[in-house]
Structure 1
Amino acid sequence: MKNIAKMISLIAFCLIVVPCSLFFAGAIDLPLVKTLALIGTIIWFASTPLWMSRELQVDSAEVEI
């Protein structure tokens, strides 16, 4: 599951970076760059927490002494 989420995150990151580079090179128009970057950003924010999460520390209210 984590590998799939990492792959989706990488693809989403490419959807953010590649269109910006193509616009800088003059290959695509600005509205297309904005659309692809928005889609890539939404997918990246949805998929990255799935594999980048960390173990939560034990809360002091849950510990019995």
Structure 2
Amino acid sequence: MKSILKVLSYLGLAMTVLPSVLVFAGKMEKELHYSVMIAGMVLWFVTAVLWVKPDQHQP
């Protein structure tokens, strides 16, 4: 489960970085860029919170 969350969170992180590069290169429209970045941001914050937090059982 944790490995799936990691993959999804890194996918979300890539969705926030790559669209900017693609817009700069002229391969993506700005409107699509905004939508992809918002979806990536939400995906990153929802999934990363579940696996990045420290273990609660250690003293």
Q: TM-score range by the shorter chain?
A: 0.7 to 0.9
Where do 5+ consecutive residues of structure 2 fail to align? none
* TM-score scaled by length of structure 2: 0.88
The equivalent residue for 1:38 is: 38
Where do 5+ consecutive residues of structure 1 fail to align? 59-65
RMSD: 1.4
Larger Rg: 1
Q: What's the CA shift for 1:31?
A: 0.6
Q: Deviations over 1:5-49 (max 9, x none)?
A: 000001111111111110011111111100000000001000001
| Matched length | 58
Q: What's the CA shift for 1:50?
A: 1.0
- Larger RCO of the pair (alpha carbons < 8 Å, separation 6+): 2
* TM-score scaled by length of structure 1: 0.81
Percent identity over the alignment is 31
SS at match of 2:34: helix
